[in-house]
Amino acid sequence: MSAILETEALSKTFGAVTAAADIRLAFEREAVVSLIGANGAGKTTFLNMVTGYLRPDAGRIRFDGQDLVGRSPREITALGLSRSFQIPQLFQSLSVRENLLVAEGIAHAERVEQATDALLEKFDLASYAGRPAGLLPEGIRKLLDVAMALVAKPKLLLLDEPTSGVAADEKFGVMDLVMAAVRGQGVTVLFVEHDMEIVSRYAGRVVAFYDGRVIADGAPAQVLDAAEVRRYVIGEAHAAA
Amino acid sequence: MNVIEFLLALALAKGLVVLGLLLLMRTGLVSFGQGLYFGLGAYSAALLAHRAGIGDAALMILAGPACAAAVAAVLGLLLARYREIFFAMLSLAFSMILYGLLVKSAALGSTDGFNLHAKTFAGIALPAGVERRVFFAVSVVVVVLVGWALHRYLASHWGRLSAAIRDNELRVEYLGASVYRVVYVNYVIAAALAGLGGAFAALAVGHVDPETTYWTTSGEFVFIAILGGTGNVLAPFLSAALFEALRTVANQYAPNVWQMALGVAMLAIIMFLPGGLWTLMRRKTA
């Protein structure tokens, strides 16, 4: 099966800091892949280059046969690539329902009201439907952020730290809802994550970043056990614990 | 036409301009230059009668928003790229350019402006003495129709999208919509409303002058918008009526301190009713 997303020799620097150095990755359709790495390793820069927020200094990004470099986030979304954010990007003064209605309207969804009701149910958000997004607890904000990204029925969904800021006893619940929503939809999922429990449980493949480079790529058990990953990503003491 | 009818006619005309401001504010933009389109609407209506010899009020009323929208369609290409203080100041700059041109133009009456007179409405001759009453009645009908249309617009997807842009432009782009396009369309609609208000004001007063485009006129519209709030399409008209009434009374009884009184009123609104006077109506119905 051909890759849905491929990057070739992708590079990006910010002054003296190398955020991406010769990144060559390919992601199979319908895979669930986790991107891991310490802060500043280049995970979010990778996401930002793929979604058009940052332009790479060099290299190519191909998504479903289309070149993405130079395209705006709006054009990339239209091609079938959506994302959620580390800090949920919501419409704070609008209610949860209105947030989804905006997303449905932009996606030209048919029967917008019914589609919104279905999404509220799917993400367990119905009881928050009338509440302004600015007054939601973090776990619900994360879910709404992902639900809005899914409205466009993307082929590839990028999730930037979907459980950061979420209470420990809620993080699996959040991920279960997200994974249930994308299951059977033919969606490829790439998620950036710091929580190795989440990574082990939900990812079929793990890509580890360090200093703008890919230092390991493969099955979760294999990557999480690699010496460089234990040293630079997990931390030896934490890994031993 | 008595004084109250005249004040109401002015309030409706200014309310139309503020209705456009309400739309911009719902999109997160404040224009300090709506006087540009108010003046363009007034002058285009007046010039139709004064220079082109077309003294039909219906055509004059149509000329106002048409001219304003045409100019906004060009300026909007630039202004839709700017936000916050840059948008506010750039819009102010354009209105002051028109003010400068009008003041220097002897052919347009320079600082004195000129009078206008409509002889017919939609081809029907207007009997002497009732013209302004007819314009007032027409303005009431137009305000109801325009207010209803804007209410529907704000409740539609584009209205929600405008509020979404005010909250988070980045997310709107990542959902696949063009922020620029929505801002541009709203800017042109706001200009057309200001042009319509300008045409009605010119017909109500029977005179146009460069003051219509001056920055204090634009500031007055922003004042009325803040006074009423952006909670409902009725707010600009109620607020404009209150403003005109206050100004008339204050001018009569306290001509030297009325601006100070308005300043104090504005401070009180910002501190105690940041959503404008309309929030009082909402509380009452809640």
**Closest chain A C-alpha to B243 CA, distance in angstroms:** 29
Q: pLDDT tens digits, residue range A97-116?
A: 999 999 999 988 778 888 89
**Percent of chain B topping pLDDT 70:** 98
**Residue B286, pLDDT score:** 56
pLDDT in tens, A148-164: 999 989 999 999 999 98
The span from the CA of A54 to the CA of B221, in Å, is 40
pLDDT bucket at B122, cuts 50 / 70 / 90: confident
Mutation for testing the B interface, residue in A47, A72, A91, A153 having most B CBs under 10 Å: A91
- Best of B25, B27, B175 to mutate (most A CBs within 10 Å, chain A): B175
Structure tokens at B196: 């319509």
Residue in B281, B177, B201, B183 with CA at minimum distance from that of residue B18: B201
**Closest in A78, A90, A98 to B168, CB measured:** A90
Task: Inform me whether the pLDDT recorded for B189 exceeds 90.
Answer: yes
Parallel, antiparallel, or unpaired for β B114-115 and B207-208? Answer: antiparallel
Residues of A in contact with B157 (CB under 8 A): 101-102, 105, 112
At A127, is the secondary structure helix, strand, or coil?
helix
**Domains of chain A, first to last:** 3-89+154-240 (3.40.50.300)
Cα distance from B169 to chain A (closest Cα, Å)? 9
Q: What digits encode the pLDDT tens for the residues B65-116?
A: 999 999 999 999 999 999 999 999 999 999 999 999 999 999 898 999 888 8
CB-CB under 8 Å, B164 with A89: no
In chain B, where are the structural domains located? 3-213
Q: Name the closest residue on chain A to residue B167, using Cα atoms.
A: A91
User: Is there a contact between A91 and B168 if contact means CB atoms under 8 Å apart?
Assistant: yes
* 101-130 of A, contacting B, C-beta below 8 A: 101-103, 105-107, 112
In chain A, the percentage of residues whose pLDDT exceeds 90 is 64
Q: Taking CB atoms and an 8 Å cutoff, what residues of chain B touch A103?
A: 175
Opening angle at CA B228, ends B28 and B38, nearest 5: 70
Residue A238, pLDDT score: 53
Residue B273 is predicted with a pLDDT of: 86
pLDDT band at residue A236 under the 50/70/90 scheme: low
Q: Mind listing the pLDDT tens digit for each residue in B217-240?
A: 999 999 999 999 888 899 999 999
- Residue A183 pLDDT > 50: yes
Q: Say whether B175 and A148 touch across the interface (CB within 8 A).
A: yes
Supply the pTM of this predicted model: 0.89
- CB neighbourhood size of A206 (10 A): 25
Mean pLDDT, range B150-154, rounded to an integer = 95
The DSSP secondary-structure symbol of A193 reads -
pLDDT digit string (tens) for B232-267? 899 999 999 998 888 888 888 887 887 787 888 888
Q: Does the pLDDT value for residue B275 go beyond 90?
A: no
The bridge status of strand A3-14 relative to strand A58-63 is antiparallel
B171/A91 Cβ within 8 A: yes
| CB-based contact, A94 to chain B, within 8 Å | yes
User: Is the predicted pLDDT of residue A10 greater than 90, yes or no?
Assistant: yes
Decide if A48 touches B, using CB distance below 8 A.
no
Q: Which of A121-125, A226-230, A231-235 has the lowest mean pLDDT?
A: A231-235
Q: What is the mean pLDDT of residues B33-39?
A: 97
pLDDT (mean) for B264-271: 86
Question: Per-residue pLDDT for B126 more than 60?
Answer: yes
Distance CA A92, CA A128 (A): 13
Minimum-distance CB partner of B161 among A72, A105, A151: A105
- Average pLDDT of chain B, as a whole number: 91
- pLDDT band with cut points at 50, 70 and 90 for residue A227: confident
Does residue A40 have a pLDDT over 80?
yes
pLDDT at site B1: 65
The pLDDT, as a whole number, for residue A241 is 45
A239 pLDDT more than 80: no
What is the structure's pLDDT at A1? 57
Instruction: For residue range A190-199, list pLDDT tens digits in order.
Output: 999 989 999 9
